[in-house]
Structure 1
Amino acid sequence: MSNLALYLLGAPRIELDGTVVVIGRRKAVALAAYLAVTGERHSRTALARLFWPESDPPHALAALRLALLTLKEAIGEEWLEIERTSLALCRTPDYWSDVTHFRHLLIGCEAHTHSPDSVCPNCLALLTNAVLIYRDDFMAGFTLRDSSAFDDWQSFQCQDLQRRLDYALEKLSLGYGARGELHHAVPFAQRWLNRDPLNESAHRLLMRLYTWNKQREAALRQYQRCREALEQELGRFPEEETDQLYHAIIEDRLPPLDGLSSSFSFRPLLSHNLPSQSTPFLGRERELAKLLALLRDPACRLLTLVGVGGAGKTRLALQAAADVAIQDAEAFVDGIRFVSLASLTSPDLLGSAIARSLGPSFHGQVDVEAQILDYLEDRRMLLVLDNFEHLLSSPISSSRLERGAKAAGLIARILGSAPQVKMMVTSREPLDLQGEWLFEVTGLKCPPADRTEALEQYDAIRLFLQSARRVQPDFRVLEDEAPFVVRICRFLDGLPLGIELAAAWLQMFTCQEIAQRIEQGLCFLDTSLRDVPERHRSLRAVFDHSWDLLSDEEKDVCRCLSVFRGGFRGEAAAEQVAGASLPTLLSLIRKSFLHLDPDGRYAMPEVLRRYVEGKLDQHPQQKALARERHCEYYAEFLHQRHGDIEGRNQRQALEEIRKELENVRVGWEWAVKQVNMEAIDKAIGSLCHLYEMHGWFQEGEELLTRAWEALSESMQAMNDPPTRDLLILARVIDWRGWLCYLLSRFEQARDLLETSYAMFCRLDEQEARALSLKNLGNVTTSLGEYAAARKLFQKSVSISKRADDQVGIGWGFDGLGYIAEAMGEYARARRLYQRCLGIWKELGNPEGITWSLMGLGSVAEASGEQNEAKDLFDDCMAHCTKSDNQQGIGWCLDGLSRLAEGSGNYEEAKRLAGRGLAIFQEIGDRSGIAIGFRNLGFASLALGDYREARDAFQRAIDMAQDVKAIPVLVDTLVGVADLLAAEGEAEQAVELLAFLLRHPATTARYKKRAQRLHTALSSRLSPQAFRPAEARGEARTLESFTPIP
């Protein structure tokens, strides 16, 4: 199961496996927050009333279903316990919420048995962690304008959490003050006061703390601030107690600090030898919390932190131990001892190293191990052993098995004879002892590749900034540098060592230059700092050491595994590509070259993969063989999912391919480079469907262009290319033509599709011919040539019927339905779309169902059936969202925008048009972009914003002209005519309308609108003005109406 984290103290943020989840609907965010904070199961009816109080029950429940669908798509269905009448958030060990954690920390403090007027070291630790978690007030900046009940609930939660924070800050101020740690007490007291500048108790405490810290003037200034605030805000003077304290400070009569501490009970902190750190620890809150929970678990006595070199195992272990020293003093009353093993050359030296850390009471006349066992027998201690892999890899012993037995043997004997001793070990591989608990340490959390805002919420970015400011104190991430900082952290997989080494170069290079240099080679990441251990002065040195720990077989497999991108799923992939057995994979996991995700996916950190890939480059024959096997594996992987993509399992198949997209791209590129026709043939269908469904038109077209160039060049060198190769080339051309169509490059699309159609005819490929004709029909429709398009679709259906190709018949009917709709034949269009829907449902084809619902919704909207159209568009939107069909979502928003505008909801129409436009811009659908601007123009015109309407219409016209989308262009001009009429240019409007009413590409929907305006203007103008204007318009050309007069 994935890890879900809700951050609600501050602006709401939801993370899934460390990645921020973007949820487009505010009420879906509010629903997640409500379920998380209440921690209860709620009835659907109650939730619908809470979030949609102004809607009737059926519409409120429908809105709840849509919000729930949005939430499911964002965080995964497994995180929601959904029943027919109720729902709840699933709370497992993989779930975490800052609000819940904040409250639990305070409850833990309140549960202590000492007087509530006292604090103990554990209290201070719990309270400190609590106030650090409290970034800002509950859901700061978030409101629901139309749900007063939710706002009331949010306000209550906010006030409750604020009270708890004030309690914690007061306790911390008093507690640290009583201990004499004024440098800690003052900041907490200041934060307490800043929350309520009229709080005299906070003012008085600060006055005392300043005085005890020998800052008498600051104490007196604090009194003046208190007096001024009270006079300005409340019109009164300070309380008598405050005045008395002021005079006591002036007259040096303030009781000494021990007067405060007399009411507090403290126990000395645990003794330890943990090395001090020159830089502050940051981030990893969840990892620390899990580590502390494991150290508290009586069953966990040997806890090994495993991870690749440079992942921060040592630093995390030290921080966990330091937290234990404060929070769990009772568990380890005899202290914590840190044992560094980095310098040891033999497992025989382990006992001596432990003995040295325990103290000077050991002497040489008695066996050291016996002394250690005797010393620890009755003690309650935590031993932290750092860099244990050095003992597992010592070159002095004859074999790894012998080395491991020697190194781990003493650990096992200590645990056996000292039942109250625990050990926390850092190592690049496990110790392989019974009872060992493993804790994997990976890189710090990084932002998504395209994220450039709010970067400091990611631990990797925060570490980069902290490290950067050590060489440039005023360093901050400028807008143009943000992508390169993200690149650096992502390339380094969040490895703290790599990030610190990279940031150190800011004294010489920009962020862009650092990103480019580390991607060129790891040698760049070196440092000469004297306080950095030799083994950590270069990332390459860290990896070299880990590489030396591998056997020859492991190195051989590991080199081949470096051809995978973004990891791989299943042992079969590793076996086919790298000849890897399961034991070898497990060994590479143990040695931190691979890690296995909970969903069964193997992955190698990218920076480490680049290092291993460099090793593979030194073996050209092995590299070529691994790349070929990798290519063949993923070609077969795509081929096996082609049937599912057009059937009931489409969503699962596309999701499986999407997860392997990096591998699929690399495999395709190798197939094209080597002109591996069989691999290209297997891969092309599924791959192009993926690019089509997700709206990645530009990348897909570029990918196919490179394939077309390579295949064409290869076949030109042949006298008589095999039929199979010609067929594969035709498929490449056909798919390229279709993607050009989706990019609104209609003329180029028509040329390519005509070429592929001719090739399919020569090769007598009937189903492929029908598909090409259908594609040509779509292109011809977009160019406004409806009669020609209808013939192409009819011919496509005829061929498909002869071949009994139901998919071809379905797409042909879909095209004919659109032609009928465009020409105003709504009854016929509805019948055709319904026939399509029947075919798609029988085949279980989600994509076909989506477009049939879209067509039926559009027909209902054009026919004035508003409610039916809304239901159909909503149903279609749900299908598109479920399959991540970005183009489909854009077209749904187009229909919903037209529907809202037609029903007089102009603001909503404008909002929906803007959302659709944004999607079309993102996927590069230029015809869709023109439609988005057209819809914005109509909505702005209805709202009376003529300037914005003119701008939107002109942009729609420019884009439609550029791509030759004639129907979009002429339909937009209907809006221009309406604008001209509204601005008082009635005769110009009549000229334009006369032209549009006769133009064959004007769709029936907009022709009806033009006719209504034409009739209205005929009544407004005199016949002497109206008829000449009509005649002038009928004689003009389309180009003469652009730009807008």
Structure 2
Amino acid sequence: MRIGLLGAVEAWPDAPGTAVPLPGLRVRGLLARLALDAGRPVGTAALVDDLWGEQPPDAAGNALQALVSRLRRAVGADLVGTEPGGYRLRIAPDAVDALRFDALAADPARLTEALALWRGPALADVRDLPFAAAAADRLDERRAAAVERRAALALGSGGPADLDALTAQLAAAPLRETTAALLARALHATGRQADALAVVDRTAARLADELGIDPGAELAAARMEVLRQAPARPRAAPPAGAPVSSFVGRDDDVRRVRTLLGTHRLVTLTGPGGAGKTRLSREAVDGEPHVRVAELAPLTGPEQLPATLLAAVGGPELQLRASDEAAAAVPDRLVAALTGRDTLLVLDNCEHLVHAAAALVDLLLPRCPALRVLATSREPLGVPGEVLHPVDALRGADAVRLFVDRAAAVRPGFALTPQVEPVVAEICRRLDGQPLPIELAAARIRTLSPAEIAERLADRFRLLTTGPRTAQPRHQTLRAVVDWSWDLLAEPERAVARRLGAFAGGATAATAERVCSGPDVPDVFDALASLVDKSLVVAVPQAEGPTRYRMLETIRVYAVERLDEAGERERAEAAHLAVVLELVEEAEPRLRGPGQLDRLARLRAEAEEIDVALRRTVAAGDSAAAHRLAAAMGWSWMIRGLLEEARRWFEAVHVLDGPAPAAARALVTGYLGISCVGGVESERGTALLADAIAIVDTLPEPRHPLLDLLGPGTDVFSGRGDDAIRRLSHEATDPWLRAFALQVRAVAAENDGRIDDQRRLLRAARALHASTGDRFGLGMAVHSLGELEEVAGDPVAAAAAYDEAIVLAEELGNDDRIDFLSRRAVLHASQGDRAAACATLRRAEDASDGSAPSRWTIAVSRAGIERLTGDVDAARAAVAVASAGLRQLEDEAGLAVAQRKAWVGALRAEIELTAGDPDAAQGPLADAVAAALEARDGPVSGMVAEVAARLLLAHGDAEGAALLLGVAHTQRGALDLGSADVLASLAQVDDVLGPAAAQEAQRRGRELPRDDGLAELERAVAAVGGTYVRRR
């Protein structure tokens, strides 16, 4: 799919041609807004603001979801992805004409190709939407700049400019002086002096009439060139100093900088030391005419700057040790040297002379209209008209490629093997993707293996000390790189920087002020802003929530060293812990109500800080703080599906000696018990739950609602009865607690095959969850109701429930969405829609974290889809993956797998029955029966019995099949009427036995006690092909 924004908003299946119908203004606007950020998520709140502005509809989230659904129907469901808190257009930037235009326009040789993408004014049919006018203006401005740049390049090389394009552009923007000046020069170059003067004079008159101003310097200079009939100036030679090493991973940056230089007169590359600003500046100006480079790094004082610039641009150099008059004359000589000359001046390494460089640039740009400046600096110059291009870290693959390139240069034959690649990737990640540290690390390949380099990065400042001898001293070691920046800081900036080292992943302005304040810092935020300007701290805007301020890991390590030297580490880390405790304890109760998504977003944003606070408290043996942190985080981990992370922290905290708040200890012990029950440590889990319940009995009310649920819930599943959980579901004052008590009762009813009770309890739980605003509980209840609708033979109602549950899980960003999407995919397949099934399963794969449970769920679902849509070979391959994954479920996740073994065995049997090979089905089905007997799970046992009925029918035993269908009914509480195979089995036993006899056999099966029914199932499958005594 390709998206067109350069004109009316359109979508084409592959290339421009027959457009896909896009119904409605806001549907087109939604597509356009997502396409502007193709491949990146856009937050829900931002989309609502952009599409409705200050008048959003009631239930704006639902309205947006409806738009998304309409857009998916138009362009395909898999093109518009759901992300936590927003949506993403799953398309490459190159497939959006506006983004492709930017990429092409960055290359001077492809400007004509770029301009050919335009079909009319940008976003022509959605400009009435709140976001569109400004976005369209930006796009139109870039088009105008490209037209001008193409004309300037043509004129500079002595070729003809596109007079039609310039004329049309000036007609559309008659006050645009740059276009007017270029058109005048182009007409002059073709000998049409009168027309050229008419263009200049007409533009000048309109400027005076409409704006009351005189023409600017560029238009005036063009007029003088026409009057003087000045010939074209020869092209200057490029600066000396060709690079001697490869340039890796900065192609996008080069294009972007070239684009900026085509539309702005002052561009500054900013970034930390070692980011590659100097090299990027050289690559960006390669091939440009009239480039001059001023190297500022060797300068020691601002008084040296003017003469250095004068020498760079080719004017007569002056010695500033002479008279004051001579020194004062240098700026005027610079202006004289640059006047009338198209010049691109590169000012490299401005940070230590930033004020002097800014003053000189501010003087030169207004007086030299043909001058453009590309500066590199660790902080902006702060001159009016400056445009910044931050030089960010190299992306993962590019960083690895740089390491390999530099390593091969010092150790010929070094190559990236599958064993080495993850180690190199880890080195690059820990070095923040910064080119200079990566190159210093690669130089160590002469004496160390990648694994040894990775191990020694804990002491990176001792390790990375082997820069080129010819480099500036500040680029020869990693410590020198950071020292250079640190030494340029004022004392309050140093204080804030070293205290920021207490944060692992960054701070908000508010948390930084809490941790970094002190008598030596008059204003923390001012110091923080200055650190951002000086590239020691990165400001990272968030889609939702406040901006975060983070340090690169190397700078943070350096800051922590300085924090230790100042004797402030203990105080800073204590302040950090206080901030984190306040955050998590304030959020915890709100995770069970309407503020759930907001608090989850805050906890996600602070995940690294919570993690480091837990690590510090556990390492220090601070039992009280560690228990408070883990107890407050427990429910968040649970509803986000972070079960392995939760288990790891609960284990670490549980073993700590020392006093801890009793409620926090009970929660940690209870959470740990819950994580063990149902796994390979079920007995331990039961004992831990008993310990937790004993603590709960000593606590006053009101208590954490989960603590009130522990005892009654344990009674139900340990066979001690359901009196307590019934009372809780009726009498608890907390609606959240009542809802989960109902849900516990529903699970018990499901296991017992009481399907009507299960449905009633789930509906009551759903209503309570909806009233409290708890999306986690609501999603579980709704999905379970969907399963019941599917079993009842109502695929439409089941699909609606699954879709609702998927939306809820995607809003939470938890692992339930993988299960929910997988179940939805199989439902698509059961209705004959293979394309939708595969697309939905791809969504599950995209959401997967690659864990063993996720991989298993997706493999089982794929096997089911392939079987239902007729590809038994593909189904066999998929179920083999699922079967192999059972051991990983035990080893990696510590899960008991009896239920899953039953599913896999039954599915293998179904595949063979579908393939027409009942003999091959008997073994897997016997395995499934054995697992079902171990699991004692009603729905699983019912499903296995239904498959066994098919097996008996394939062997001609219709009476035995009917009996097992009755057993399945009792085990689950109903037959699966949503299964075409079950319906076929019912029809076949009716045909063979006659309806009355079939019903009688099923009745006998239904009336068997549950244990007897399982025993009958075991005997029937074991005796396939032989004889056995059937119950009558």
Q: Which residue of 2 aligns with 1:649?
A: 595
How far has the Cα of 1:747 moved from its partner?
Answer: 3.4
| Native 8 Å contact 1:701 1:739 kept in 2 | yes
SS of structure 1 residue aligned to 2:373 = strand
SS of structure 2 residue aligned to 1:422 = strand
Q: Which residue of 2 aligns with 1:498?
A: 437
Give a deviation string over 1:282-333, Cα, whole Å, max 9, x none: 33344333323332335x43x332211001111111122225x1xxx4xxxx
SS of structure 1 residue aligned to 2:298 = coil
SS of structure 1 residue aligned to 2:429 = helix
**Count of aligned pairs:** 804
Note if 1:841 corresponds to 2:745.
no
| Native 8 Å contact 1:688 1:700 kept in 2 | yes
Q: Which residue of 1 aligns with 2:500?
A: 561
**For the structure 1 residues 728 and 123, does the alpha-carbon distance in structure 2 shift closer, same or farther, using more than 3 Å as the test?**
closer
SS of structure 2 residue aligned to 1:367 = helix
Q: Which residue of 2 aligns with 1:352?
A: 307
Q: Which residue of 1 aligns with 2:293?
A: 338
Aligned residue type for 1:352? A
Pick aligned residue for 2:577 from 631, 653, 658: 631
Structure 1 Cα separation of the partners of residues 112 and 920 of structure 2: 54
Note if 1:316 corresponds to 2:280.
yes
How far has the Cα of 1:714 moved from its partner?
Answer: 1.1
How far has the Cα of 1:726 moved from its partner?
Answer: 2.1
Q: Which residue of 2 aligns with 1:595?
A: 538
How far has the Cα of 1:769 moved from its partner?
Answer: 7.4
Structure 2 Cα separation of the partners of residues 354 and 969 of structure 1: 80
Q: Which residue of 1 aligns with 2:269?
A: 305
Structure 2 Cα separation of the partners of residues 609 and 861 of structure 1: 54
Give a deviation string over 1:993-1031, Cα, whole Å, max 9, x none: 87994999766557999999799789989x9xx99x999
Note if 1:827 corresponds to 2:759.
no
Q: Which residue of 2 aligns with 1:426?
A: 376
Structure 1 Cα separation of the partners of residues 596 and 17 of structure 2: 32
| Native 8 Å contact 1:773 1:795 kept in 2 | no
**For the structure 1 residues 308 and 998, does the alpha-carbon distance in structure 2 shift closer, same or farther, using more than 3 Å as the test?**
closer
Structure 2 Cα separation of the partners of residues 495 and 682 of structure 1: 38
Q: Which residue of 2 aligns with 1:280?
A: 246
| Native 8 Å contact 1:501 1:525 kept in 2 | yes
**For the structure 1 residues 40 and 993, does the alpha-carbon distance in structure 2 shift closer, same or farther, using more than 3 Å as the test?**
closer
Q: Which residue of 1 aligns with 2:48?
A: none
How far has the Cα of 1:822 moved from its partner?
Answer: 4.1
Identity %: 24
| Native 8 Å contact 1:977 1:993 kept in 2 | no
Q: Which residue of 1 aligns with 2:395?
A: 445
How far has the Cα of 1:809 moved from its partner?
Answer: 0.8
**For the structure 1 residues 760 and 870, does the alpha-carbon distance in structure 2 shift closer, same or farther, using more than 3 Å as the test?**
same
Pick aligned residue for 1:760 from 696, 704, 714: 696
How far has the Cα of 1:588 moved from its partner?
Answer: 1.3
Aligned pairs for 1:361-510 (under 5 A) are: 361-362=316-317, 364=319, 367-368=326-327, 370-377=329-336, 378=339, 379-391=341-353, 404=355, 406=356, 408-415=358-365, 417-446=367-396, 458-471=397-410, 475-510=414-449
Aligned residue type for 1:388? C
Aligned residue type for 1:322? D
Q: Which residue of 2 aligns with 1:977?
A: 948
| Native 8 Å contact 1:890 1:919 kept in 2 | no
Give a deviation string over 1:532-562, Cα, whole Å, max 9, x none: 4332222222112222222333222212111
How far has the Cα of 1:706 moved from its partner?
Answer: 0.9
Structure 2 Cα separation of the partners of residues 268 and 950 of structure 1: 88
Structure 1 Cα separation of the partners of residues 837 and 946 of structure 2: 15
Q: Which residue of 2 aligns with 1:944?
A: 915
**For the structure 1 residues 1014 and 550, does the alpha-carbon distance in structure 2 shift closer, same or farther, using more than 3 Å as the test?**
same
SS of structure 2 residue aligned to 1:714 = coil
Q: CA RMSD in A?
A: 5.3
Q: Which residue of 2 aligns with 1:205?
A: none
**For the structure 1 residues 558 and 938, does the alpha-carbon distance in structure 2 shift closer, same or farther, using more than 3 Å as the test?**
farther
SS of structure 2 residue aligned to 1:762 = coil
Note if 1:575 corresponds to 2:514.
yes
**For the structure 1 residues 40 and 998, does the alpha-carbon distance in structure 2 shift closer, same or farther, using more than 3 Å as the test?**
closer
Pick aligned residue for 1:290 from 244, 250, 256: 256
Structure 2 Cα separation of the partners of residues 426 and 613 of structure 1: 28
How far has the Cα of 1:954 moved from its partner?
Answer: 8.0
SS of structure 1 residue aligned to 2:286 = helix
Structure 2 Cα separation of the partners of residues 961 and 343 of structure 1: 80
Give a deviation string over 1:197-219, Cα, whole Å, max 9, x none: xxxxxxxxxxxxxxxxxxxxxxx
Structure 2 Cα separation of the partners of residues 560 and 440 of structure 1: 25
Structure 2 Cα separation of the partners of residues 65 and 445 of structure 1: 34
| Native 8 Å contact 1:990 1:1033 kept in 2 | no
SS of structure 2 residue aligned to 1:425 = strand
| Native 8 Å contact 2:310 2:334 kept in 1 | no
How far has the Cα of 1:633 moved from its partner?
Answer: 0.5
Q: Which residue of 2 aligns with 1:664?
A: 610
**For the structure 1 residues 625 and 563, does the alpha-carbon distance in structure 2 shift closer, same or farther, using more than 3 Å as the test?**
same
**For the structure 1 residues 35 and 71, does the alpha-carbon distance in structure 2 shift closer, same or farther, using more than 3 Å as the test?**
farther
SS of structure 2 residue aligned to 1:703 = helix
| Native 8 Å contact 2:403 2:439 kept in 1 | yes
Structure 2 Cα separation of the partners of residues 39 and 356 of structure 1: 59
| Native 8 Å contact 2:964 2:1017 kept in 1 | no
Q: TM-score, normalised by structure 1?
A: 0.65
**For the structure 1 residues 499 and 951, does the alpha-carbon distance in structure 2 shift closer, same or farther, using more than 3 Å as the test?**
farther
**For the structure 1 residues 103 and 903, does the alpha-carbon distance in structure 2 shift closer, same or farther, using more than 3 Å as the test?**
closer
**For the structure 1 residues 436 and 127, does the alpha-carbon distance in structure 2 shift closer, same or farther, using more than 3 Å as the test?**
closer
| Native 8 Å contact 2:942 2:967 kept in 1 | no
Structure 1 Cα separation of the partners of residues 114 and 444 of structure 2: 33
Q: TM-score, normalised by structure 2?
A: 0.66
Aligned pairs for 1:169-248 (under 5 A) are: none
Structure 1 Cα separation of the partners of residues 711 and 13 of structure 2: 43
| Native 8 Å contact 1:561 1:574 kept in 2 | no
Structure 2 Cα separation of the partners of residues 77 and 618 of structure 1: 44
**For the structure 1 residues 858 and 728, does the alpha-carbon distance in structure 2 shift closer, same or farther, using more than 3 Å as the test?**
same
Q: Which residue of 1 aligns with 2:34?
A: none
Q: Which residue of 2 aligns with 1:707?
A: 653
Structure 2 Cα separation of the partners of residues 129 and 931 of structure 1: 59
Q: Which residue of 2 aligns with 1:451?
A: none
Structure 2 Cα separation of the partners of residues 609 and 669 of structure 1: 17
Structure 1 Cα separation of the partners of residues 477 and 715 of structure 2: 57
**For the structure 1 residues 875 and 920, does the alpha-carbon distance in structure 2 shift closer, same or farther, using more than 3 Å as the test?**
farther
Unaligned runs of 5+ in 1: 1-5, 10-28, 51-56, 81-87, 110-121, 134-174, 180-265, 330-334, 393-403, 447-457, 716-723
**For the structure 1 residues 357 and 851, does the alpha-carbon distance in structure 2 shift closer, same or farther, using more than 3 Å as the test?**
same
How far has the Cα of 1:760 moved from its partner?
Answer: 0.8
Note if 1:862 corresponds to 2:806.
no
| Native 8 Å contact 1:930 1:968 kept in 2 | no
| Native 8 Å contact 2:461 2:478 kept in 1 | yes
Q: Which residue of 1 aligns with 2:853?
A: 921
Q: Which residue of 1 aligns with 2:741?
A: 812
**For the structure 1 residues 889 and 757, does the alpha-carbon distance in structure 2 shift closer, same or farther, using more than 3 Å as the test?**
same
Give a deviation string over 1:562-620, Cα, whole Å, max 9, x none: 1212212233444335556111111211221102123311111122212222333445x
Q: Which residue of 1 aligns with 2:812?
A: 883
